Amino acid sequence: MIEKITIKGGYDKQGNEEPLKEVIIKKGEIFGVVGPTGSGKSSLIGDIEQLAQKDTFSKRKILVNDEEPSYEDRTNPRKKMVAQLSQNMNFLADMTVGDFLSLHAKCRGASNTCVDKVVKLANTLTGEPIKKEHELTILSGGQSRALMVADVAIISNSPIVLIDEIENAGIRKHDALKVLAGHGKIVLVVTHDPVLALMTDKRIVMRNGGMEKVVGTSSSEKEISSKLNKIDELMLSLREKVRNGEVIEDFEEIEF
């Protein structure tokens, strides 16, 4: 059972010690990772994915329940503690959705019944239906993303979940985040999107490759977050209409 992970600070891009020496994330917490492009958000996520032991560029060290994870824990997918949804939007594997998912289920030691569940869940996140017989490589950006989200949620059902940007993908991002976060997991979300950033409990601010500070989401931010959700829902519904060739004449004013 994973109760917490500890990120021990390393060095930023200039080789200076990063301002935060230690960040602890406990079970059930959702952390955001924010910062300008190139500030090292994806690298931080990468360090956690590999459970880095001062062996990456940043020289960070990741502890699980205050202990160093074993080599086996770090590399064997069946024991893997971390599920990651990376920025990469496209699949390169030349096979059908069904074959791909059953292969992945086999790697993770999961049951083959997962395959149908993944496809079903993915279809709740995207407008364009995905079928098991589809070739992976011809899926659209939104379909790929939805399938990756569902795969991470069901097949890579790990206690630590890392999400590297789910915006701009033509999927329902709130639903996606809910599906991924699950109950009692440790979740980190890299984002530029205030809708997502304010949904988290705390956010790590990155600068120049280093962890600069941790900002807690204030109660007024939580209120703003729910307002932003409504705006986002509206944008999504308008987007669906435009997609379907409808003419938009008016929309309902949002009541806050």
Per CB under 8 A, 124 contacts other proteins: no
Structure tokens that stand for 189 in this block: 């979300």
* Rounded Cα–Cα distance for residues 209 and 194 (Å): 21
Give the x/- contact pattern for other proteins in 140-159, rule: CB under 8 A.
--------x--xx--xx---
Binding of residue 236 to other proteins (CB under 8 A): no
Nearest 5°: the CA angle 43, 187, 85 is 55
CA proximity to 95, closest of 139, 60, 149, 62: 139
Nearer to other proteins, 73 or 221 (CB): 73
Q: Per CB under 8 A, does 49 bind other proteins?
A: yes
Strand, helix or coil for residue 221? helix
- How far is 97 from 74, CA to CA, in rounded Å? 27
Query: Is position 179 an interface residue for other proteins (rule: CB under 8 A)?
Result: no
> How far apart are the C-alpha atoms of 255 and 244, rounded to whole Å?
26
Q: Which of 228, 206, 168 is nearest to 32 (CA)?
A: 206
The residue type of 27 is: K
Residues in the chain: 256
Question: In this chain, which stretch among 22-30, 103-111, 168-176, 247-255 interacts with other proteins, using CB under 8 A?
Answer: 103-111
Identify the H or E element spanning 7. Answer: strand 4-8
Counting residues that bind other proteins (by CB under 8 A) gives: 31
Asked if 91 and 139 count as a contact pair (C-beta separation under 8 A), the reply is: yes
Q: What's the min distance (Å) between Cβ of 153 and other proteins? A: 12
Q: With binding defined as CB under 8 A, does residue 100 bind other proteins? A: yes
Nearest-approach distance from CB 73 to other proteins, in angstroms? 14
Check binding of 176 to other proteins (CB under 8 A): no
Question: Is the distance from CB of 41 to CB of 206 less than 8 angstroms?
Answer: yes
Q: Compute how many other C-beta atoms are within 10 angstroms of the C-beta atom of residue 41.
A: 25
Report the nearest approach of other proteins to the CB of residue 252 (Å): 38
Q: Does 32 bind other proteins (CB under 8 A)?
A: no
Instruction: Dig out the tokens for 142 from the structure.
Output: 């939104």
**164 vs 232, beta carbon nearer other proteins:** 164
Does position 83 interact with other proteins (CB under 8 A)? The reply is yes
Nearer to other proteins, 77 or 216 (CB): 77
* Nearer to other proteins (CB atom), residue 23 or residue 147: 147
* 46 sits near other proteins (criterion: CB under 8 A): yes
The site for other proteins (CB under 8 A) is made up of: 43, 46, 49-50, 55-57, 75, 77, 80, 83-86, 88, 91-95, 100, 103-104, 106-108, 148, 151-152, 155-156
